[in-house]
Homo-oligomer: A and B are copies of this chain.
Amino acid sequence: MGFGNVSERRSAPPQVGVSVVILALGPKHSQISQNSDGDVPLNKPDMNNGDRSDRSRLWLPLVRRVKQPFLGDWALPGGGLRADRSLEQSAFAALESTTALHPRYLEQLYTFGDPERSHGGLPMVSIVYWALVGQGETAGFEEGDNVRWFPEDTLPPLAFDHREIVDYALTRLRSKIEYSDVATRLLGPTFTLRQLHDVYEAIDGKLVDLANFRRKILASGMLEDTGEKTREGRQRPATIYRYASERTPRISAPYAFDGGEVNAATVERDPVDDALSALMPSRPERRRHAEHAQ
């Protein structure tokens, strides 16, 4: 299906797709050796050891491009839209098809559509989502030659404008961590205050006073004491908390995508600050693009 000529192509609508920035907490330094082609560390973040000092950097999975342009470069996982799927479902599907990960958080980031970004190919509008994956969510994940995890601060050159997109996702995460619960989504369902504290420090470089952090978080009421205590290490056991939003039942599931080993229903929009949570579980509708054809 080709376009007739340049001017027809220019006035035609662009292609549309979905991409996802997936973020997870990983070790500060890779434990496995460097890779053959000189790329920076790249084993997947190990989610299951209790070693605090080594769990303090954000990692994200990228896929290698197998087509021009940017053949061989790393890019964000993505996929197409389908008329019978919500954008979130499409994002989820894109995410799943490349990484088999089940996010604990998924939110729309931004829609990129500048003609310049197409780099000579078909113009493309990308609706980008960002996702947070908790610890333990990566159990079934296998890295291949075309999918690999990278630490956020040592990314390889990325295709298209994907580098800026990643940067924007990180900016959003860093901003959102200050007034919402997103940090908890990078951990498992339960965690200690120290673990949560480490997430905060990992996300925005600077050190956070642990004593004040404790008070602030506890005062915010977003955590709930599970009644349990850690039983590791040789120190005083720490209280184990859980994110308290289970109290506030979802009005409606953000999307009905359900399957896989981890329940997709655990994926939520931010209930506090993302106004869409309140507005979006909205009612059906249809909007043909004929509004300005009065």
Contacts and interface: CB of A to CB of B under 8 A. Distances in A.
Contact of A11 (B84, B94, B286): B84
Nearest to A8: B83
Contact of A167 (B117, B279, B290): B279
A121 B288 contact: yes
B19 A294 contact: no
Interface stretch (A72-80, A201-209, A229-237): A72-80
Nearest to A118: B286
A216 interface: no
Given A111-B87, A127-B111, A98 B16 contact: no
Given A98-B292, A114-B87, A294-B66, A279 B16 contact: no
23 contacts: A11-B82, A13-B16, A13-B80, A13-B81, A16-B289, A17-B288, A19-B291, A66-B290, A75-B291, A77-B291, A78-B289, A81-B113, A83-B123, A87-B112, A87-B113, A98-B291, A114-B280, A116-B284, A117-B285, A123-B286, A124-B289, A159-B287, A171-B279
